[in-house]
Structure 1
């Protein structure tokens, strides 16, 4: 074969290759990793982990085994995607605060509801939960699901587990694929089983009728669903938003004081959300949104959630409760998107569609189960009938066996009546032997039969066993041929699971009114904003500032008089403007440290530097001069920066350019630009063009090589303005007046 014949160059569009490759990758993530299967409600990693535990014999009634062993075996046999993904899936299946029904019985530190992570897998142990073994993994030996090759075709794994109830609803699901995501809430096992039974009795049942059984989500953390009327639309379409509130109770404290006790939290708050809630409540006090809270403590334990908020004696408890719902995550939204893999492709399904898929799957696995059982019983009957028949002619069979030279000859005689190679005592025996017609399975059983089977009691037991086998065959055939009979078998199994595993509903459902929060009207007053050179900011009363004016001006980089209801606008060298609500800053004593502006705005001190601060109220009356490092300048109307966004683009910059300064120019006659190399250019302020904030601007000064603008000054006619360059004082109003976009005058040092 020539070189040209061995090599093939396929010419194609690069975009087509990228498109096909990305689609293949996306489908791989969707089907093989991120989304659960509607039949068993499990993602591949969960299914493989449970099956591996079953294969290793780590059953609910056997000792725990190290999680590291389970993870390693699963990764080596079935799931080659890294140990962390397998262990994370194992941990979640063992966390009762995340799953409606725990599938793994964990032993050791498997994390907490407050966001503490599980211990390393070398320390923790696990075994299958009883329900996993009975409702997820039973009957796998009866050919009820397909087995497919693993990733390297050295093992077989189940395509889906034969789960007996709609696990997709009971345990819910969360997963992010490529271009799609799933988010299914948990439900109550007893209610889901009742809905399945109702569907099986009437497959024309509507979603509204199903909701007589499945009232709504049942989260493991409890809480209150407050938009019950929206649930019908969510369950019909498979998408929507569920509003959840934590459960807050009022208790009597010491000295007639009351306390609010949070005993249940929204499902979305588990993990770091609890810590954030505590911080948010503290922030309400620090920012003076409320003065009714005296103390907050997290007294949660293994027994459950208990967050206690002590309030003042004369506090409006109801209004404070409303404030917690409105201002914190104590009321939150759970986004529902009931997306799962159905028939090999992702599909968004409503409640009825999920149950329909589940029931179809139950009939499929039940059919396969009873076909397997029927086949085994039929084989058993065949053997039993052969043995009974053989016992009636046992003397002839013994004669055949004694007269045979080999097992092959004896078997041929039993099956086909071939007597050529067998020695008989009488012609009558030979004639009878030619009439024998046992099946191969019967002949094998006769040849393997032990002599004690000829005892009278053993014969009676054989006949009785045959009668039982015939009854079983009749029952299995009836189940397979009668829809109602199979339905009753499935329902009987569901009733058993409900009786043993169903628990009371934890989440209550209601239609609550929208929270109306009566916020105290903030008394408007003048304060002074102080920010030091380290970026720590605070506000103090104007009187406090006046008493410490000299120290305040010396110690702080920015000092701005403003109203406590206003905002401070912060312009950065990277061309952005961040807004800080004055009310968000700590207000207090002059010697208080303050708070980093990073914490109360989107400003990032590690990546940005401040070039100008101004009170928002003044922007509407000002024109702002923007000057960049490369000498670009422009005027912008301050009204353009009165926006609601916390962060907005302040100006457009060319590549590698930076904003050097922003100056108010209202009433100014002249502009002076100073460069690093000592060039000063003075020109009339009227030569600067006014532009939009999204424009680059015009050139203000011609720069020499390796020079850049260092500072800019604006002043009026007759105003005495001075600057210092390399320890030499420069009187700016004595500089020669030039034109914009010229080189300027170099100062001698």
Structure 2
């Protein structure tokens, strides 16, 4: 199923294509995304997409695929306190390169915009990012809300399914969140912050419910409690703040009597440190591009597991074919050098046409790697036709004729015994390589 929104896929595609070794300004990256991936919706929303992909405070991403090099926002204001995109930098996270292996790119279906190759129709990471970082949004007639889950629990469940076991139930989990999440029922949860009594006049709030931002909590809960209203007298006498960008700490003073009343009513309830989380709208695009509603997180995980396993097999087949083509190329090169050394082949003072005819007559293969690559591209094109009968049965495969440049362009230094031995060693290593091990 789709793990990233279209704008996020465009950002990831551009970062992978640029392959920057150093950080780049967010504003500059947005310009590159618009150019390389044909983004047509204005740079402002693109800037916010990049910033959101790099945020890592509590309540944002469990795994951020971009690095936040600068002020990308904090939990104090829910990320709205991010600095201007002109002054902050980012680059692809090392984890992103592990989540989206480069070897998978040959299996993805890339889109085209005005004959420009842009991002793939969808990415397939090794973990379902839609569960790791959650998803939330609305569309015509549909809404989606999926909380974050612990990537370690997801990995454990994937291992269980590999061992033919059912996945275990998972509770929503947010990175660095110190509160508690309880299950109330099917897809219903209670998220609680942390509050403790220090003495008979003082309490301490050290965690807020997920996505209850520090500044908003102060203005909507503590200030009214301090000021009171005509109908409701003030509940607290004073409060002090000792927060950091990552942590919350309110020290609240109140009368002994009111503290006792608050304890009797429940501190979490009185100080609004509980929120409900309902996940009955888990609607996603599946790998066929169709909207699908999922009843549980386990259903999403199982569908991802089957799809990812299928693509591991495709990747293995691709690697077997690639290694076979490379081994064949090295074998042809080694044979040519040997026959040249032994005087069985002469290439001096011959026309190109005669050289090609001689190579064909002696049984040398046209560039095996190029032929294999062209065959893969042709297979993809046939898949894209979706069964349309296009009668262009004239194959343009060999209009250019056989290609022996990989042999005839070898330098004279190759005509040595050492080079033959090296080519044969390389060929044998390709043949002995285990593509199954490379897949995981």
TM-score w.r.t. length of structure 1: 0.49
| Deviation, structure 1 residue 45 | 1.1
Indicate which of 162, 174, 192 corresponds to 2:154: 192
1:38-77 maps to which residues of 2 (within 5 A)? 38-39=1-2, 41-58=3-20, 62-76=21-35, 77=37
Question: SS of the residue aligned with 1:148?
Answer: strand
The 2-side partners of 1:229 and 1:121 are apart by 41
* 2:75–2:246 CA contact under 8 A, matched in 1: no
State the 1:303 CA deviation.
4.4
CA contact (8 A) 2:62 2:150 kept: yes
Per the alignment, residue 305 of structure 2 pairs with 359
Partner Cα distance (1:389, 1:440) in 2: 14
Kept in 1: contact 2:137–2:145 (CA 8 A): yes
* Residue of structure 2 equivalent to 1:180: 142
Find 2:47's aligned residue among 74, 81, 87.
Answer: 87
CA–CA distance in structure 2, aligned partners of residues 377 and 368 of structure 1 = 14
Shift in CA distance, 286/122, structure 1 to aligned 2, threshold 3 Å = farther
In structure 2, the residue matched to 1:125 is 89
Residue aligned with 2:73, SS: coil
- The 1-side partners of 2:181 and 2:132 are apart by 20
The answer to whether structure 1 residue 261 and structure 2 residue 204 are counterparts is yes
Q: Does the 8 A contact of 2:226 with 2:237 survive in 1?
A: no
Quote the residue 2:350 is aligned against: 405
Q: Secondary structure at the match of 2:68?
A: strand
More helix by share: 2
Q: Quickly say closer, same or farther: Cα 1:406–1:126, change in 2 above 3 A.
A: same
Tell me the distance in 1 between the aligned counterparts of 2:230 and 2:202.
Answer: 19
Quote how far apart the aligned CAs of 1:137 are.
5.7
**In structure 1, distance between residues paired with 2:159 and 2:174:** 22
Measure how far apart 1:468 and its partner are. Answer: 0.8
Match of 1:345 in 2: 290
Give the C-alpha shift of residue 339 in structure 1: 1.6
Q: Distance in 1 between matches of 2:68 and 2:130?
A: 22
8 Å CA contact retained: 1:184, 1:338: yes
TM-superposed CA distance for 1:155, in Å, is 3.4
State the alpha-carbon separation in 2 of the partners of residues 346 and 328 from structure 1.
40
- What's the CA shift for 1:258? 4.6
Matching of residue 220 in structure 1 with residue 175 in structure 2:
yes
Give the direction of change, closer, same or farther, for the CA distance of 1:383–1:44 in structure 2 (3 Å limit): same
CA distance in 2: counterparts of 1:245 and 1:100, whole angstroms: 19
Deviations 1:661-707 (A, max 9, x none): xxxxxxxxxxxxxxxxxxxxxxxxxxxxxxxxxxxxxxxxxxxxxxx
Deviations 1:20-48 (A, max 9, x none): xxxxxxxxxxxxxxxxxx24x21111111
Which of 266, 272, 278 does residue 222 from structure 2 map onto?
A: 278
Match of 1:146 among 100, 103, 109: 109
- Mark the runs of 5 or more structure 1 residues left unpaired by the alignment: 1-37, 235-240, 417-435, 480-487, 494-749
Q: Which has the higher contact order (CA 8 A, sep 6+)?
A: 2
Q: What is the alpha-carbon distance in structure 2 between the residues aligned to residue 470 and residue 196 of structure 1?
A: 31
* Shift, 1:248, TM fit: 1.3
**Alpha carbons of structure 1 residues 271 and 361: separation in structure 2 relative to 1, 3 Å:** farther
Between the aligned partners of 2:95 and 2:367, the Cα distance in structure 1 is: 39
Deviation string for 1:330-376 (max 9, x for gaps)?
Answer: 11112212221113122221222211222233234323333332222
In the TM superposition, residue 269 of structure 1 has moved relative to its aligned partner by 0.7
Q: What is the aligned partner in structure 2 of residue 22 from structure 1?
A: none
Quick check: 1:223–1:247 contact (8 Å CA) kept in 2? Answer: yes
State the 1:184 CA deviation: 0.7
DSSP-derived class of the 2:211 partner = helix
Q: Does 1:370 align with 2:316?
A: yes
Offset of residue 313 of structure 1? 4.7
> Counterparts of 1:271 and 1:81 in 2: how far apart (Å)?
32
State the distance in 2 between where 1:469 and 1:302 align.
51
Match status 1:246 vs 2:193: yes
**Is the radius of gyration larger for structure 1 or structure 2?**
1
Confirm or deny: 8 A CA contact 1:143 1:368 kept in the other structure.
no
Within 1, Cα distance between the matches of 2:14 and 2:127?
A: 21
| C-alpha distance in 2 between matches for 1:489 and 1:449 | 30
Q: Secondary structure at the match of 1:445?
A: helix
User: Residue 162 of structure 2 aligns to a residue in which SS?
Assistant: helix
CA RMSD of aligned residues (A): 2.7
SS class of match (2:102): coil
CA contact (8 A) 1:72 1:83 kept: yes
Partner of 1:508: none
| Residues 224 and 244 in structure 1, CA contact (< 8 A), matched pair in contact too | yes
Q: Does 1:438 align with 2:356?
A: no
How big is the shift at 1:324? 4.5
Partner secondary structure for residue 191 of structure 2: strand
1: CA distance between counterparts of 2:179 and 2:27?
Answer: 38
Using a 3 Å threshold, how does the CA distance of structure 1 residues 371 and 244 change in structure 2: closer, same or farther?
same
CA deviation string 1:252-272 (max 9, x = no partner): 5xxxx5532222211131365
- Map Cα deviations across residues 426-449 of structure 1 (whole Å, 9 max, x no partner): xxxxxxxxxx22222375433223
**1:453 counterpart residue number:** 414
Are the aligned partners of 1:250 and 1:260 in contact in 2 as well (CA < 8 Å)?
A: yes
Return the alpha-carbon distance in structure 2 between the equivalents of residues 196 and 289 of structure 1.
54
Shift in Å at residue 191 of structure 1? 0.8
* 1:41-60 per-position Cα deviation (integer Å, ceiling 9, x unaligned): 211111111222222333xx
In 1, Cα distance between the equivalents of 2:224 and 2:268? 11
